[in-house]
Structure 1
Amino acid sequence: MKTNSQFSAMRKGALDLSLVPLSYSGGEVPEVNIGLMPGLVTTYEQGYSWKNAEVGKELARILAEKGIVVLSWIWQAGGVASRGKPIVEPEDVRGMKVRGGSREMDLILKAAGAAVVTLPSNEIHAAMQTGAMDAALTSSTSLISFRLEEVSKALTTGRGGAYWFMFEPLMMSKAIFDRLPKEQQAILMAVGGELEGFARASAQADDAAVAAAYQKTGAKVVDLNAAIVKKWQAIARTTAWTDYREKNANCAKLLALAEKTL
């Protein structure tokens, strides 16, 4: 089943479970774009706190209404691969052709003076190789799997904190879940919770592995500090966050609850 069809299929009960970035379904359910909202989650600790915080409970309620049950809360940090200089401060993207990977990130990049390039992640390598694109934001795992170190001279990692975190939960069709005996439902939720520690450790291992992979090719590897993350966050507040808040009442409420975790 194609990636972007899975969320809808789960809602209809045509697919039982899926591990997929929640924001991929933002066109169908605007609220889920909060799962890739730049600057809203800046550390793994904060991201994983959502599950038991008001924002997590509200997001789970909205997803249940849409026919989805979250079994495992999983977050993954991302970074920036660049053909030239490292992308650290917002002003570093001025005049560059950059792939943000989401509407929200594109809004921030435009505000910072970049020319936004829109294309699927599996086309990043070719675009950077030809010079059609100067830099790209994506998850640590994708920065490795698409071998972007072959066409990059610099990498900004997410290992010390980031303004790019993706919510990629293990989800289940509520229609299928509701048909199960209570005992089996409890087992699924318990095992889903147990998997979160493994998921977090694996994502953080990728954050370290991507740095090693780029260093091996001689690329310049840099990390972000809290002060720099706040600069990106400040742009996000007046662009992406505002855009999301104005979508509907649910989005406004989710954003307000998420800000409480900052």
Structure 2
Amino acid sequence: MTSQKRRSIIGALATAPLWTAGSSAWAQGAPTSLKISHQFPGGTINEGDFRDRLTRMFAEGVTKRTNGSLKFEIYPGSSLMKVNAQFSAMRKGALDLSLVPLNYAGGEVPETNIGLMPGLVTSYAQGSAWKNAEVGKELARILAEKGILIVSWIWQAGGVASRTKPIINPEDAKGMKVRGGSREMDLILKEAGAAVVTLPSNEIYAAMQTGAMDAAMTSSTSFISFRLEEVAKALTTGRDKAYWYMFEPLMISKAVFERLTKDQQAAIMAVGAEMEQFALKAAQTDDVAVAAVYQKAGAKVVDLNAATVKKWQDIARATAWKDFGARNANCANLLKLAEKLL
């Protein structure tokens, strides 16, 4: 090889991107685009389902704070991947971020079922306290071990929509086909005499429309966004009291997060925390708004009182809590720590 050829090769190598192990476009400072997936109807940053709005507000905030080094693509309505595939995809680094009910991962990670544990969280104040309490820190530790980091802590009150009569007391569910939304919710429904139906919230409308399901438990926001007032004749709200609250966080793949710069990581966590107050106010607003939507549609709207909440909670203690605590040591410890906040 001539000296001139050798100099040409060395020069080419010096100017080529270094795609060696551990390097990436992120490490070189190039703009990075991250994908956010969720199952809820899409809208705009100002209108629509607040969970979709939150992802758009989060994306805008992080992009601004990182001077454009991080950008985001939002995929609403399960347009990127199926609902139940999101958690696993994040663990593998195949999906960047998702806003999804944590308990949807219960079949893969049993501990996540605490995110929809009947009777364990009975107010927004109690749910909001989890983040900085022992239970929240332990849950975050477990998720981090599984490859997931919590970006925004979001809680939503739950209610019940029915094609026929309202479900208020446990005995009202007897003989009905009801979607609970988690293994633990299903256990209390079975104890009440209901037949359980398992499917994600974005499939409730079709199941109720066809009669495959009589009633469904989900959040106030989902009752509105999925237009369930079109197929429901009764609604039990969570606007005053509720016996279950759903943990529906914005999460990021740990593998993806760790490839970002320290400044990008800090921006994601800071903006994620800022979104929590917006989520709280929006969820509470929807708890009230859902009643008006269903009343306008001609549905019978009812609320719960403390005595009714306790009936459901007593059943949950004897069934769902007992079952969850027996799953493994982590589950037992999470339950014990959560009970400290009751």
1:21 aligns with 2:101: yes
Q: SS at 2:178's partner residue?
A: strand
Residue number in structure 2 paired with 1:254? 334
Residue number in structure 1 paired with 2:224? 144
How many equivalent residue pairs? Answer: 262
Deviations, residues 94-129 of structure 1 (Å, cap 9, x unaligned): 222222222211110111122223344344334433
Deviations, residues 48-67 of structure 1 (Å, cap 9, x unaligned): 11000000000011111111
2:270 is aligned, of 155, 169, 190, to 190
Residue number in structure 1 paired with 2:118? 38
CA distance in 2, matches of 1:91, 1:245: 25
Residue number in structure 2 paired with 1:94? 174
Checking the alignment, whether the CA contact within 8 Å between 2:113 and 2:183 is kept in structure 1 is no
1:226 aligns with 2:306: yes
- 10-19 or 165-174: bigger deviation: 10-19
Matched letter for residue 252 of structure 1: A
Could you list the runs of 5+ residues in structure 1 that have no partner in the other structure? none
Q: Which has the higher contact order (CA 8 A, sep 6+)?
A: 1
Deviation of residue 80 (structure 1)? 0.6
Question: What TM-score do the two structures reach when normalised by structure 2?
Answer: 0.73
1:166 aligns with 2:246: yes
CA distance in 2, matches of 1:68, 1:129: 36
Question: What TM-score do the two structures reach when normalised by structure 1?
Answer: 0.94
Q: Measured at CA, do residues 177 and 214 of structure 1 come closer, stay the same or move farther in structure 2, by a change above 3 Å? A: same
CA distance in 1, matches of 2:291, 2:183: 27
Percent identity, aligned pairs only, is: 80
Residue number in structure 1 paired with 2:281? 201
Bigger-Rg structure (1/2): 2
1:50 is aligned, of 125, 130, 140, to 130
Residue number in structure 1 paired with 2:60? none
CA distance in 1, matches of 2:86, 2:162: 31
Residue number in structure 1 paired with 2:155? 75
CA distance in 1, matches of 2:82, 2:203: 17
Q: Would you tell me which structure has more helix in proportion to its own residues? A: 1
1:133 aligns with 2:133: no
Cα root mean square deviation, aligned: 1.6
Q: Measured at CA, do residues 17 and 127 of structure 1 come closer, stay the same or move farther in structure 2, by a change above 3 Å? A: closer
1:214 aligns with 2:300: no
Checking the alignment, whether the CA contact within 8 Å between 2:178 and 2:196 is kept in structure 1 is yes
CA distance in 1, matches of 2:218, 2:206: 15
CA distance in 2, matches of 1:65, 1:120: 25
